[in-house]
């Protein structure tokens, strides 16, 4: 819950943040190759979480095959959690989940930077980071921490051939990272219908630019942000979820699951299927591929360009 001072500061950021005019124009990152496929279909690992969360995460990644297929020693990895606000999991990334995944990447020999930008009236991100204990975690694990909306952040403008977006301004550190790993939560969203891997990329967009996305075609714009790049690995925390409402509060359910994949579309479709298993009033269509986010992403050939995939458990 925001206090009065935080609310005033947050509103000033929400209304006053301006996209830099001098950000250099660049082309989208080259499309990544997802090595985790079966019969040419992307694989989604799905595991029930046991007593040890880190072991469960390793088990999920192990079902894909080998983390070394995408993360190699010396890689500069941008790790993107979900800290839109400081509200507790599943509104935001669980800190034990973030710690466990960071340790796994460090053990693989990666150089990790945790980067995120909070949303709306919860900014500046430094306030959210402080409230959830993110600075302490970064210090304990000796990893870099970057609030994207912090003064001094370098930005680039990626030119796109979208139907709704012609460019997106994003942090240079993400654009230049060797590898990108997403840690989305699994939940419904009052405005976007659903928040998962595709929606997570929204946090890369400069706050001054992000504000205007909400006026119309929000879901389609969310999908087209991923024309900038796609992650090398997604690990989704579905131990708890909102099956109505979201992103900060809603009807809570506890699937007790982790999902992992190298395909941003496949993992989101499987997550939506999990949410659809609950008797809840939300904005999810019976066919996940018909959600505007998914339909737009599939139309652009994101992921494998198909809604077909293989689940391994």
pLDDT in tens, 74-121: 999 999 999 999 999 999 999 999 999 999 999 999 999 999 999 877
Query: What radius of gyration do the chain's Cα atoms show?
Result: 18
Angle between helices 218-225 and 292-299 (to 10 degrees): 40
Beta carbons within 8 Å of 96's beta carbon, 6+ residues apart: 53
Which domains does the chain carry? 4-16+26-312 (3.40.50.11440)
The angle subtended at Cα 176 by Cα 299 and Cα 74, nearest 5°, is 115
Cα separation values, 37 from 109, 129, 144, 171, Å: 24, 36, 32, 30
b/e burial code for range 227-262 (CB count within 10 A of at least 16 → b): bbbbbbbbbbbbbbbbbbbbbbbbeebebebbbbbb
Pairing of strands 252-253, 233-242: antiparallel
Q: What is the pLDDT at residue 214?
A: 77
Distance CA 45, CA 267 (A): 9
Q: What is the pLDDT at residue 2?
A: 66
Are 242 and 228 within 8 A, CB to CB?
Answer: no
Residue 80 pairs in a beta bridge with 182
In the predicted model, what is the mean pLDDT of residues 252-264?
A: 98
Share of the chain above pLDDT 70, in %: 95
Residue 14: in which H helix or E strand, if any?
helix 4-16
What do you get for the CA distance between the two ends of the chain, in Å? 38
User: Which residue has 């499987």 as its token pair?
Assistant: 270
In the predicted model, what is the mean pLDDT of residues 202-219?
A: 88
The angle subtended at Cα 293 by Cα 291 and Cα 295, nearest 5°, is 65
pLDDT at 291 over 70: yes
Distance CA 107, CA 39 (A): 31
Mean predicted lDDT score pLDDT of the chain: 94
Distance CA 151, CA 164 (A): 29
Residue 37: in which H helix or E strand, if any?
strand 37-38
Q: How confident is the model at residue 212 (pLDDT cuts 50, 70, 90)?
A: confident
Question: Within a 10 A sphere around the Cβ of 127, how many other Cβ atoms?
Answer: 20
pLDDT at 17 over 70: yes
pLDDT at 171 over 60: yes
SS3 172: helix
Are 19 and 208 within 8 A, CB to CB?
Answer: yes
């Amino acid at each position: 819950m925001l206090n009065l001072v935080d609310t005033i500061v947050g509103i000033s950021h929400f209304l006053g943040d301006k996209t830099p005019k001098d950000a250099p124009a660049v082309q989208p990152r080259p499309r990544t190759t997802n090595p985790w496929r079966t019969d040419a279909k992307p694989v989604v690992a799905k595991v029930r979480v046991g007593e040890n969360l880190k072991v469960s995460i390793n088990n999920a990644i192990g079902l894909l095959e080998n983390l070394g297929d995408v993360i190699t020693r010396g890689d500069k990895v941008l790790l993107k959690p979900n800290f839109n606000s400081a509200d507790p999991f599943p509104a935001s990334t669980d800190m034990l989940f973030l710690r466990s995944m960071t340790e796994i990447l460090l053990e693989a020999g990666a150089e990790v930077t945790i980067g995120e930008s909070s949303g709306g009236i919860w900014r500046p991100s430094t306030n959210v980071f402080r409230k959830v204990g993110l600075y302490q975690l970064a210090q304990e694990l000796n990893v870099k921490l970057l609030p994207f909306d912090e003064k001094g952040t370098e930005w680039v403008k990626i030119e796109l051939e979208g139907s709704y977006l012609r460019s997106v301004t994003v942090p240079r550190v993400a654009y230049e990272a060797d590898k990108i790993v997403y840690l989305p939560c699994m939940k419904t969203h009052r405005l976007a219908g659903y928040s998962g891997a595709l929606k997570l990329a929204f946090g890369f967009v400069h706050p001054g630019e992000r504000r205007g996305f909400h006026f119309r075609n929000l879901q389609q714009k969310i999908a087209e942000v991923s024309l900038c790049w796609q992650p090398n690995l997604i690990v989704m925390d579905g131990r708890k979820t909102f099956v109505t409402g979201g992103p900060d509060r809603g009807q809570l359910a506890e699937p007790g699951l982790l999902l992992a994949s190298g395909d941003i579309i496949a993992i989101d479709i499987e997550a939506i299927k999990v949410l659809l298993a609950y008797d809840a009033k939300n904005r999810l269509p019976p066919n996940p591929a018909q959600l505007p986010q998914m339909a737009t992403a599939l139309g652009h050939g994101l992921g494998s360009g198909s809604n077909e995939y293989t689940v391994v458990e």
